[in-house]
Amino acid sequence: MKILKAKSDNFSIKLIFELIQMIDYQAEEHKRYWISEYQNLIIKLPSLHEQQKIADCLSSLDELITSSTKKVELLKEHKKGLMQQLFPSKEE
């Protein structure tokens, strides 16, 4: 595991995390990808203020996705309960 540490305070660590998650790199062999590959990637960043706004927006979307996923699961459980009431098993 590699722990990344900022060399300066001129960027949003939340935004960097999101950008790293989007790297589409196919690892075909076992090697130290950070040293050999990732460190050579160039990522252009807007101002720190803009980075924070972007990171906050992405965080809000993550929260919305999480709550929507929970809502879908609850609705599926509700549907299952209704189906059991509408079509009881032979024993009932």
Give the model confidence (pLDDT) of 27-82 as tens digits: 677 766 666 677 777 778 889 999 999 999 999 999 999 999 999 999 999 999 99
59 C-beta neighbours (distance < 10 Å), count: 13
Instruction: Supply 39's token pair.
Output: 């460190």
Q: What is the pTM of this model?
A: 0.62
Can you tell me the distance from the alpha carbon of 81 to that of 86, in angstroms, rounded to the nearest whole number?
Answer: 9
Residue 41's pLDDT is 76
pLDDT value of position 15: 86
Structure tokens at 60: 């809000």
* CA-to-CA separations, 25 to 11, 30, 44, 60, 80, in angstroms, rounded: 23, 13, 18, 26, 40
* Residue partners of 66: CB distance under 8 A and separation at least 6: none
